[in-house]
Amino acid sequence: MLVPTPLLDMPTQCRETDSWTCAAVYDWTGNEVAARAATWLIGKPAAIVGLLLGALVVRWLATKAVDRVVQRAEMTPLPGARAVHTRRAQRARSLGTLLKSILTTVVFGIAFVMVLSEIGVDVAPILASAGVLGLAIGFGAQNLVKDFLSGVMMMVEDQYGVGDVVDLGEAVGTVEAVGLRVTRLRDVNGTVWYVRNGEILRVGNQSQNWARTVLDVNVGYTEDLVRVRRILAEVAHGLWEDEDYRDVVIEEPEVWGVENLGPDGVVVRVTLKTAPLEQWAVAREMRQRIKGRFDHEGIVIPLPQRVVWHHDAPPRPGDPRSGDQRPAPAE
């Protein structure tokens, strides 16, 4: 009775690094050259193709899992304002894109190392050299690594996103792009600013979740402040109840009262909580309505006044105002 020889029991003519095709071809032909050639013509390419296909399948499964998590985060309803849910969906998409990029790099990096090992390359020295090289690059490109890590943390912590109006210290404007290395802003004058993520020490986000319109209204010292506060409250509530601003002003307005006693008049502050990025439009509309209502009610908005003391100094000789100016001698 014949017992088949396992493929793992290589003939002496086949090395351990040769593929299973070497043993199969040698058992079939008895030719060592053909067996070795089959390894490089059939076995190795088939193994490499299998590794690449496996990497593609793993990447596909991983990206599908990430997409499913992102879709679940986008579809799950949240209590509260619609802007909060929209921002959560944007953040989920950004993190999903970042995670898929990292997974793709890791999967194909491992596949590349396995392909090198399959074709007979000793990967241990390569990995050791890569570690030393990575350490050297890390020391030599600390700013680049710092920018990358800062960009990752900004995305994870949702410090800001595309469309937000932010104050990054040296640059203030609307975020147009958020990358792992730089953030691109455009200010109110149209200037585009590129800010390295590692240089951002503080972030002031003026459009995250909600915003607030703060108006300081100047009135004369002779005005009845109780009446002024009542009129400001009526104007603010009129805007809040306006159908065009129902989704813009999200909470009942407040008149905080006297904010300052200035040289030109009394400053009364009124505030309105608004949807993100709507605080400036609400402020413009409020100023227009306050001006019209004050004109109707006869409330004076004081103008800056300045008292100038004028002291007439005695005229100097030769001054046109003096009577002793003499004509210059003729040449």
111-115, 141-145, 294-298: lowest mean pLDDT where?
Answer: 141-145
Considering only residues 250 and 132, tell me which one the structure prediction assigns the higher pLDDT.
250
Does position 6 have pLDDT exceeding 50, yes or no? no
Which pLDDT value is given to residue 82?
Answer: 57
- State how far the alpha carbon of 32 is from the alpha carbons of 38, 40, 42, 205, 312, in Å: 10, 13, 15, 72, 119
Cβ neighbours of residue 224 under 8 Å, at least 6 residues apart?
none
Rounded-to-integer distance, Cα 157 and Cα 159, Å: 6
| Torsion, Cα of 283, 289, 295, 301 (10° steps) | -10
Which pLDDT value is given to residue 45?
Answer: 74
How many CB atoms neighbour CB 107 within 10 A? 20
Nearest to 188 by CA among 166, 169, 209, 207: 166
- Collapsing DSSP to helix, strand or coil, 215 comes out as strand
Termini Cα distance of the chain: 143
318, 325 contact by CB (below 8 A): yes
Q: What is the CATH number of domain 158-205?
A: 2.30.30.60
CATH topology of domain 34-140: Helix Hairpins (1.10.287)
Rounded-to-integer distance, Cα 138 and Cα 30, Å: 54
Rounded to 5°, the CA angle 14-16-22 comes to 35
Enter the pTM of the model: 0.58
pLDDT digits (tens, 9 = 90+) for 156-184: 788 888 788 999 988 999 988 887 788 89
Mean pLDDT, residues 267-272: 95
Cβ neighbours of residue 184 under 8 Å, at least 6 residues apart?
175, 176, 177, 178, 192, 193, 194, 195
The model's confidence at residue 7, banded by pLDDT at 50, 70 and 90, is very low
pLDDT digits (tens, 9 = 90+) for 89-141: 766 777 777 788 788 888 988 888 888 877 777 777 777 777 777 676 666 66
Residue 81, phi-psi category: left (phi > 0), alpha (psi -120 to 50), beta (remainder): beta
**Is 34-140's fold the same as 211-297's?**
no
The model's confidence at residue 19, banded by pLDDT at 50, 70 and 90, is low
Cβ neighbours of residue 198 under 8 Å, at least 6 residues apart?
143, 146, 147, 149, 150
Class (C level, CATH) for 211-297: alpha beta
User: Domain residue spans in the chain?
Assistant: 34-140, 158-205, 211-297
Does position 2 have pLDDT exceeding 50, yes or no? no
Rounded-to-integer distance, Cα 238 and Cα 288, Å: 13
